[in-house]
Structure 1
């Protein structure tokens, strides 16, 4: 049995707890949250205001799941790692590259596993797109477009409004698509970004980012905090066909590949339907990696690299010019 301590019982913390409650090999042994909220299925005596109190009271903790605001990740990752607990940490890994590097190093030094919650890799449409890209059904891919939109996130202490804490739209929301594209197409060579609304606008932000990959793929990543309804889409264009996803459609995923002079639909949503929550799939995968010492789909180094690209994009719209990426994290 894997004993898990969850830090933070907001929206994401509750989502993780519900997933763990469905697993036969996992037990949520405690929740740390300053507000001590009520979570269904968790006894009141398992709530703690302080991480140290939980450690003292609970005995053996195998995993600490960090679902706290981004700027608190480093502090509690260090505490968890030095207590020899494996770590599952919500994305982004940290609020600065320096902090992300320190988290990775402290976990390596203490020989504990670190998993980062980039859940988009576990959405069926995105994982299927990755498989289709790897199968080279499109021929040479030259252009990709992604879009992600939601309302401005409301959370404890309004911490999303402080961009030093949250990283704003790029680090918090668009990093999903940055990670997905890097998963599919590898290393980014250069970044060019346009921030349509300046950072001082608290509740609305629109950003467009151009990513140029070393393999020749050009990607346009756009998104905003501007609408009440969450929606996301992508389009992958190749010489031999294209793949389109639109979360607002009844059949969201559409793949067409050339056969002679015509285009033929060869995949749709019904063929890849995944009845499981991607959060359950993700966390179940990480638990399996802990138990069986498997390599995770998402590595800490990849999480670091996605952060690096997001910060390069922030720098790009600040200076109004292209930013070139240096070599990967080692």
Structure 2
């Protein structure tokens, strides 16, 4: 029998969790502060609608997926794990490092699964990229940069960095296997006091450098992660069709008589199995509930991501 999962928060991303869990046969209930909205989803998906404060105490609910405004994540996650529920909390898991650490600590004390929705870690193209890096195909990784640009969405609590960067930071931390030594952030607020553009520059212990650029006021959409190694470069471009999502460039650079020379080669496209990252993420969550294994994107990683976001945040008057 599959775990019985409830989704707390029936907004844009919560609705995706609801439909995906239904397709996996694990959706038991939905919950939202707007009861009418929850009842609408319950009717559509043939499940229960339960009020948020009642949800955490329902003994038949095994786990809760939380897709709330981030200022409420830590509070409800703590209530849930103290009531014996496993949780998957959407990013960011809190607005302060202290709240995030408290939620993760309480989950550990109660021996509950605490997973975070860094969904791109479950993208087949990123998983294949990680395999190439771990196998040495790219050589030693020297530089990583990511661009996550587009128009909208606009939030009253989250700026472009906090809304868009967590996925990329999760991927960068997975590749580096360590935390940055130095973090420098730059931001620009055009609409109000929250940054609409943000740059993040990081230096890691092994000399690896990384930069991240996010924007919610960009005229075109870009979803690109580039990894530069000593043997090859790779690009994960999620805007491209599946057969072109992961490209490897085997450019060569060398010194000849004291001068730098290079050859530029056409990319080779790495075959990637198609699959929806959210489906794969939720399948992993179900597996962790059943086996009690630690999630690939657990609470400790989420705290590391939050520390970087905090260090890189630029405040505006």
TM over 0.5: yes
Q: How many residues align?
A: 301
170 and 259 in structure 1: CA distance in 2 versus 1, 3 angstrom threshold:
closer
> Residue deviations 1:299-330, cap 9 Å, x none?
2101100110111111xx459xxxxxxxxxxx
C-alpha separation in 1, matches of 2:63 and 2:13:
16
Whether the 8 Å CA contact 2:133–2:139 is kept in 1: the answer is no
Q: CA deviation at 1:41?
A: 3.8
Q: CA deviation at 1:70?
A: 0.3
Which residue number in structure 1 is paired with residue 152 of structure 2?
Answer: 152
Task: Tell whether 2:33 aligns with 1:42.
Answer: no
Q: CA deviation at 1:35?
A: 4.4
Which residue number in structure 1 is paired with residue 5 of structure 2?
Answer: 4
Q: CA deviation at 1:228?
A: 6.3
Which residue number in structure 2 is paired with residue 324 of structure 1?
Answer: none
The partner residue of 1:209 within 200, 213, 216 is 200
Root-mean-square deviation (CA), in Å? 2.5
C-alpha separation in 1, matches of 2:240 and 2:14:
29
Q: CA deviation at 1:140?
A: 2.1
Whether the 8 Å CA contact 1:5–1:63 is kept in 2: the answer is yes
Which residue number in structure 2 is paired with residue 112 of structure 1?
Answer: 112
C-alpha separation in 2, matches of 1:52 and 1:244:
44
> Residue deviations 1:121-143, cap 9 Å, x none?
01122222222111221222222
Which residue number in structure 2 is paired with residue 305 of structure 1?
Answer: 304
Q: How does 1:269-308 map to 2 (within 5 A)?
A: 271-274=271-274, 276-308=275-307
55 and 253 in structure 1: CA distance in 2 versus 1, 3 angstrom threshold:
closer
Task: Tell whether 2:184 aligns with 1:192.
Answer: yes
The partner residue of 1:172 within 163, 172, 180 is 163
C-alpha separation in 1, matches of 2:245 and 2:287:
30
5 and 245 in structure 1: CA distance in 2 versus 1, 3 angstrom threshold:
closer
Whether the 8 Å CA contact 1:150–1:229 is kept in 2: the answer is yes
Which residue number in structure 2 is paired with residue 256 of structure 1?
Answer: 249
Task: Tell whether 2:236 aligns with 1:236.
Answer: no
Whether the 8 Å CA contact 2:81–2:112 is kept in 1: the answer is yes
Whether the 8 Å CA contact 1:151–1:230 is kept in 2: the answer is yes
Task: Tell whether 2:14 aligns with 1:13.
Answer: yes
51 and 183 in structure 1: CA distance in 2 versus 1, 3 angstrom threshold:
same
C-alpha separation in 2, matches of 1:221 and 1:318:
18
Which residue number in structure 1 is paired with residue 256 of structure 2?
Answer: none
Gaps of 5+ in 1: 155-159, 320-330
Q: CA deviation at 1:286?
A: 1.0
C-alpha separation in 1, matches of 2:135 and 2:118:
23
6 and 135 in structure 1: CA distance in 2 versus 1, 3 angstrom threshold:
same
C-alpha separation in 2, matches of 1:267 and 1:296:
32
C-alpha separation in 2, matches of 1:67 and 1:5:
11
Q: TM-score, normalised by structure 2?
A: 0.86
C-alpha separation in 1, matches of 2:305 and 2:272:
27
Task: Please state whether the residue corresponding to 2:34 is helix, strand or coil.
Answer: coil
Which residue number in structure 2 is paired with residue 161 of structure 1?
Answer: 156
Q: CA deviation at 1:181?
A: 0.5
Q: CA deviation at 1:152?
A: 2.4
Which residue number in structure 1 is paired with residue 23 of structure 2?
Answer: 22
Which residue number in structure 2 is paired with residue 101 of structure 1?
Answer: 101
Task: Please state whether the residue corresponding to 1:272 is helix, strand or coil.
Answer: coil
Which residue number in structure 2 is paired with residue 226 of structure 1?
Answer: 217
C-alpha separation in 1, matches of 2:185 and 2:315:
9
125 and 82 in structure 1: CA distance in 2 versus 1, 3 angstrom threshold:
same
